[in-house]
Amino acid sequence: MVENDLSPASITSNLGTHFVGQRVIYYPSLTSTMEVAKQEAQLGAGEGTVVVADEQTAGRGRMKRVWLSPKGSIALSIILHPSVANLPSLVMLASLAVVHSIEAVTGLRAQVKWPNDVLVNGKKICGILIESSVRGKIVDYAIIGIGLNVNLRFADFSEIQSMATSLSAELGRDVSRLRLIRRLLVEVEGLYLALQAGGSIYEEWRDSLITLGRKIRVKSGETVYEGVAESVARDGSLLLRNFSGSLSKIVAGDATLRD
């Protein structure tokens, strides 16, 4: 198994999952794995189908931001068919799967910054995007998009060096992307099956948050909140204690740690 080979055969061979990653669509270069996964889902792709790219040229993050995914990073999207009740938990599932995979493969401790970033040593190493199509109480599909900085040389990306990091930058050596992807798919399926069977991943996700107890600034739409991140609700919403003493429940937003 060649470590830099991200071909479907190298990913699926003896993977140890029932459906996640049993069908892999690979592109050497692609504008966005999310866009291709969406097209595949609309055409009836089976649950667990994965779209992976060696390089992503127009990746999307939250808030319509561009997500940089040059060669050396991981860019993939996974098609799922969850119950509507479990949709809010997918970002928890994805972030925990990334945390578990980073720790298992590299030994590095990773933490989650609400709502969807994974950090190592206080710097962003992974972004997660969830998109879905829902009709009433029926989920046509949901797609988990994961962008993970693996073997990036930040001398080439000085504009993000102060806020982002990569696994290779933290370890001082390259990391097998293939090994990480395979572990990630196993982790996603395990957490997803537990969730669909009625289990809860909320407590572990809550406990992995670096945000809680910290002073933060959150931009949600046109509204800006400032205060202390007190807790998170089971639907993933942030409970923020404003400096005035009132409590705000923020469903979605962009959070910045203030201390």
Q: What is the pLDDT of residue 55?
A: 87
Digit-coded pLDDT (tens) for 72-131 = 899 999 999 999 999 999 999 999 999 999 999 999 999 999 999 999 999 999 999 999
133 contacts 154 by C-beta, under 8 angstroms:
no
CATH at 246? 2.30.30.100
Kindly state the helix (H) or strand (E) to which residue 105 belongs, with its residue range. Answer: helix 90-106
In this structure, the answer to whether residues 122 and 216 fall within a common structural domain is: no
**Where does a domain end: 206, 227, 242?**
206
The token duo for 71 is 């060669």
- Residue 62's pLDDT band (boundaries 50, 70, 90)? very low
How does strand 74-80 pair with strand 111-113? Answer: unpaired
CB 127 within 8 A of CB 63: no
> What average pLDDT does the segment 162-177 reach?
91
Query: What pLDDT digit, counting tens, does each position of 118-165 carry?
Result: 999 999 999 999 999 999 889 999 999 999 999 987 666 656 666 889
Predicted local distance difference test score (pLDDT) of residue 65: 53
Q: Are residues 37 and 74 in the same domain?
A: yes
Q: What is the pLDDT of residues 243-255, one digit of tens each?
A: 999 999 999 899 9
> Is the model more confident about 66 or about 105?
105
Q: Are 229 and 249 in contact (CB under 8 A)?
A: no
- Quote the strand ranges of 33-184, DSSP E: 50-53, 56-60, 66-69, 74-80, 111-113, 117-120, 123-135, 138-148
The pLDDT score that the predictor gives to residue 195 is: 94
157 belongs to a structural domain:
yes
Residues 124 and 224 in one domain: no
pLDDT at 259: 66
Is the same domain home to 54 and 127?
Answer: yes
pLDDT for res 107: 97
Show the tokens assigned to 60: 């999307």
Q: Are 229 and 214 in contact (CB under 8 A)?
A: yes
The residue range of the domain holding 242 is: 211-257
Query: Residue 2's pLDDT band (boundaries 50, 70, 90)?
Result: very low
Asked if 180 and 233 sit in the same domain, the reply is no
pLDDT per residue over 208-225, tens digit each? Answer: 999 999 999 999 889 999
Q: Do both 167 and 194 map to the same domain?
A: yes
Q: Collapsing DSSP states into helix, strand and coil, what is residue 154? A: helix
Structural domains in the chain (count):
2
Output the pLDDT for position 4.
66
Distance separating alpha carbons of residues 23 and 142, to the nearest angstrom: 16
Residues 95 and 216 in one domain: no
Residue owning tokens 């990091």: 165
pLDDT at 231 over 90: yes
Band of pLDDT at residue 68, cut at 50, 70 and 90 = low
Shared domain check, 215 and 149: no
Residues 188 and 232 in one domain: no
Strand residues in 212-258 grouped as ranges (E): 215-220, 223-232, 238-242, 247-250, 254-257
In the chain, the largest separation of any two C-alpha atoms, in whole Å, equals 58
Which of the four pLDDT bands, split at 50, 70 and 90, describes residue 183?
very high
pLDDT digits (tens, 9 = 90+) for 20-46: 999 999 999 999 999 999 999 999 999
- The DSSP bridge partners found for residue 127 are 117, 147
Distance in angstroms (rounded) separating the CA atoms of residues 184 and 32: 19
226 shares its domain with 199: no
Q: Are residues 94 and 174 in the same domain?
A: yes
Angle of helix 90-106 relative to helix 177-196, nearest 10 degrees, comes to 140
Classify the C-alpha dihedral 61-252-109-101 as positive or negative: negative
Q: What share of the chain is helix, strand, coil (3-state, %, to 5)?
A: 30, 35, 35
186 and 127 belong to one structural domain: yes
Q: Give pLDDT, residue 56.
A: 84
What integer pLDDT is reported at residue 72 of this predicted model?
86
How many C-beta atoms surround the C-beta of residue 118 within 10 A?
A: 26
